[in-house]
Amino acid sequence: MSPLTTRAPAKINLTLHVLGRRPEDGYHVLESLVAFAGAADLLALTPASDLGIAVSGPTAGPAGPDADNLVLRAARHLASRVPGLRVGRFHLVKRLPVAAGIGGGSSDAAAALRLLARLNDIAPDAEPVRAAARATGADVPVCLDPRARMMRGAGEAVGAALGMAPLPAVLINPAVPVPTAPVFKALGLQVGDNLAGAPHPAIAEGLDAEGIGAAIGPARNDLEAPALTVAPAIGDALAALRGQPGCRLARMSGSGATVFALFGDRHAASAAARRLRAANPRWWVVPTLLR
């Protein structure tokens, strides 16, 4: 049987409001509009009698040891919920930067669950698949069906796909890995605390690019300020984006260090990416469409 393949696209937090920390488990409660980029890792699954993974690609080294990969963790969680699950050997081509605030590992895990569901004729939204996603990590459920939508809580509450128009954008990672834990520590919320701030704007279904930009303009990423104390290079990348002709909005994604900017059209985004690459050859700079 030929390998089954899928993409694992970067998850971009267009907004990220931190509401507080839950008293019952200490998890941070979030409200976030996420979209998915054209930039992606690639995952293949060849049916076999046992689970395994090989990782290659430009960011394979920073992805960490294969045995602890989220792809295998997700597969094991699904196998524990589906007796007799057919499994196999994964090949992950890592192209996305690691510890970058774009959910690369979570998207890889969700891609593994989609491939295993396909191999076993399981609906991709079946409860065992969704339960395995929740058990694997907070960002995995929203990556199962990678289309723009709201996510809430600690990632377990995933809204319906919004059907929004593609957004021309540029992504930058300034070659600085930023683990999530130090950023939340710098935010400084104690268990049971709430974070003050304007409520998240309502996001209607089917908005065009201009409508999305207007809707999310008043929103924010509450992790941006603490992330800047952990990795000041984030500020350099944001300043570089904001200085580009046609930049409509620039903001950090997730807990950083990846930042994004929205542009009016693909030509302006591509031109900005060329200039930014030339000026900052060490940075990961990608023009893309967010959907």
Tens-place pLDDT, residues 53-108: 999 999 998 777 777 799 999 999 999 999 999 999 999 999 999 999 999 999 99
What is the C-alpha to C-alpha distance for residues 89 and 95, in angstroms, rounded to an integer?
A: 19
pLDDT tens sequence across 171-199: 999 999 999 999 999 999 999 999 999 99
Q: Which residues contact 232 (CB under 8 A, 6 or more apart)?
A: none
- Best CA proximity match to 106, nearest among 128, 76, 60, 74: 74
Q: Tell me how far CA of residue 22 lies from CA of 17, 19, 187, 226, 268, in angstroms.
A: 15, 9, 15, 20, 42
11 carries an active-site annotation: yes
Q: Among the options 11, 41, 94, 108, which is catalytic?
A: 11
CA–chain centroid gap for 101, Å, is 6
Half-sphere exposure of 144 (CA within 13 A, CB side): 30
Domains defined for the chain, CATH in brackets: 4-158 (3.30.230.10), 167-290 (3.30.70.890)
50 carries an active-site annotation: no
Token match 């000026």: residue? 279
Residue 1, pLDDT > 90, answer no
Q: Among the options 125, 139, 145, 185, which is catalytic?
A: 139
